[in-house]
Amino acid sequence: QKEVEQDPGPLSVPEGAIVSLNCTYSNSAFQYFMWYRQYSRKGPELLMYTYSSGNKEDGRFTAQVDKSSKYISLFIRDSQPSDSATYLCAIRSNSGNEKLTFGTGTRLTIIP
Amino acid sequence: NAGVMQNPRHLVRRRGQEARLRCSPMKGHSHVYWYRQLPEEGLKFMVYLQKENIIDESGMPKERFSAEFPKEGPSILRIQQVVRGDSAAYFCASSPIAADTQYFGPGTRLTVL
């Protein structure tokens, strides 16, 4: 079993729709949760960073963490064609182990 | 403030040659991380370095791969005697302190012929 599972998609939705992206993880030692966006042939760009259960909102993006279920989500409201990219969840354990463990990424296309 | 810089952006090598990938962290960042992204796979951690020290190399293949981050100059990821399976995108990230946000560079795409 992989430490982090993410549906690779591809996922296509019409412009303006709400997008839901999800990851599950197996290790309860993971304490820090991130979402990165990666455009084709580019490096990952940090979108959201959180370390507690609950919701964190930043503009059109909301990150949700449920530690009891080991489940994290990213919601994109009012999706735009510019949101078309691969979205990667990344997780890190408590201090002392700095490496990020990534999901495989979900390829998202927003259809105008 | 320039971001993380990597060069070259594209590198082509024949089997058996050496590949050297360079990473200059963001200004003020002294922690560097290398990740590898194989086609259709997520990023996999390789190594974590601070200036002149390797902190965690648990993701590095045991042979042919090495990394350094000297007191002066960029971090170097070195792959000796490359094989086709080494073809991938190699990303470098940096952070100002440990356990902080990692900022990624644009990557070096290595192709082994």
pLDDT, mean of residues B48-63: 93
* Partners of residue B102 in chain A, C-beta under 8 Å: 46, 100
Provide the shortest C-alpha distance from residue B44 to chain A (in Å). Answer: 7
Provide the shortest C-alpha distance from residue A43 to chain B (in Å). Answer: 4
Query: Residue B1: pLDDT band by 50, 70, 90 thresholds?
Result: low
pLDDT value of residue A97: 67
Does the pLDDT of residue B100 top 90, yes or no? Answer: no
When CB atoms are compared, the residue of A36, A43, A102 closest to B106 is: A43
A50 touches chain B (CB under 8 A): no
Q: Which residues of chain A have pLDDT under 70?
A: 95-97
**Three-state DSSP state, B69:** coil
